[in-house]
Structure 1
Amino acid sequence: MGALDFLSDYFDISRPRKKRKAMQTVEIKVKMDCDGCERRVRNAVSHMKGAKSVEVNRKQSKVSVTGYVEPKKVLKRVQRTGKKAEFWPYVPYNLVAYPYAAQAYDKKAPSGYVRNVVQALPSPNAPDEKFTTLFSDENTNSCSVM
């Protein structure tokens, strides 16, 4: 009976299982002036449970953490180092329809990036967007004459 009791502990369905966090990449904007700031932020984040890799780009003021971590916990850990931190507010320039819209263009943004704001995205009901995508090469339902 000892072996069956041992196996029943592993297959017990009454006990809830812990959900595993999803693998994700968290990007945070942190102002870092020197090697000491960079080292302090890197050490704080790399010792987190679930963090697989940490990339620090001091020129862009960006920290990327990949692993089984929660974004809010990573942000709190970086803020505990004494640095002002926020989630990465920028998107690549080529993904935005209107990069020079109000509040989208930011002089402090790294090259090739603009701020992620609602005004920079096209409205789905805009007629000019519908006409430009209607006869696109990527549209498989477009006119066969093209």
Structure 2
Amino acid sequence: MGVLDHFSDLCSVSSTRKSRRKPFQTVDIKVKMDCDGCERRVRSSVSSMKGVKSVEVVRKQSRVSVTGYVEPHKVLKKVRSTGKRAEFWPYIPYNLVTYPYAPQAYDKKAPSGYVKNVAQALPSPNTPMVKYTSLFSDDNPNACSIM
């Protein structure tokens, strides 16, 4: 069987080109848009890209959400080609952050309900967790005396 395996390896046709499909993802970009023309220009430039399934523009938040089989850096480059200053969406929802008023997290320019995504606002993995079940326990000598 060794000879047949050797011949089959020599005769097999394999593709050297490795094509991987891009993952389906949502890319959020912050773009300052003042008028309907700016919004239309950004929307049309991004929607013409290959792999884009939907484009959502929220002018009040200066946000563009692109969903599809796209690469984030290519979407950012395409938005910048319209002449607008653009960056990746730097904000996360307010309720996901432990310390929203950390010095670098709080931003006056952020849309309502959002803070900047910085490491100081997120909980560190070394902080001890307070267990509220043992806080008022009879076994805890430092428990509340009202119970």
- TM-score by length of structure 2 reads 0.79
Runs of 5+ consecutive residues of structure 1 not aligned to the other structure: 1-10, 137-146
> Which residue of 2 is the match for residue 96 of structure 1?
97
Greater alpha carbon shift after TM alignment, 103-112 vs 14-23: 14-23
> Which residue of 2 is the match for residue 105 of structure 1?
106
Q: CA RMSD in A?
A: 1.7
Q: Indicate how the Cα distance of structure 1 residues 135 and 76 shifts in structure 2: closer, same or farther if over 3 A, else same.
A: farther
How far did residue 14 of structure 1 move?
A: 4.0
> Which residue of 2 is the match for residue 131 of structure 1?
130
Percent identical: 73
- TM-score by length of structure 1 reads 0.80
The amino acid across from 2:91 in the alignment is Y
Runs of 5+ consecutive residues of structure 2 not aligned to the other structure: 1-11, 135-147
Higher helix share: 1
How far did residue 126 of structure 1 move?
A: 1.2
> Which residue of 2 is the match for residue 5 of structure 1?
none
How far did residue 35 of structure 1 move?
A: 0.1
> Which residue of 2 is the match for residue 115 of structure 1?
116
How far did residue 124 of structure 1 move?
A: 1.1
The whole-number CA distance in structure 1 between the counterparts of 2:87 and 2:43 is: 16
The whole-number CA distance in structure 2 between the counterparts of 1:31 and 1:17 is: 38
Pairs within 5 Å for 1:17-96: 17-96=18-97
The whole-number CA distance in structure 2 between the counterparts of 1:15 and 1:115 is: 44
**Greater radius of gyration (CA):** 2
How far did residue 123 of structure 1 move?
A: 1.2
Aligned length: 123
The amino acid across from 2:46 in the alignment is V
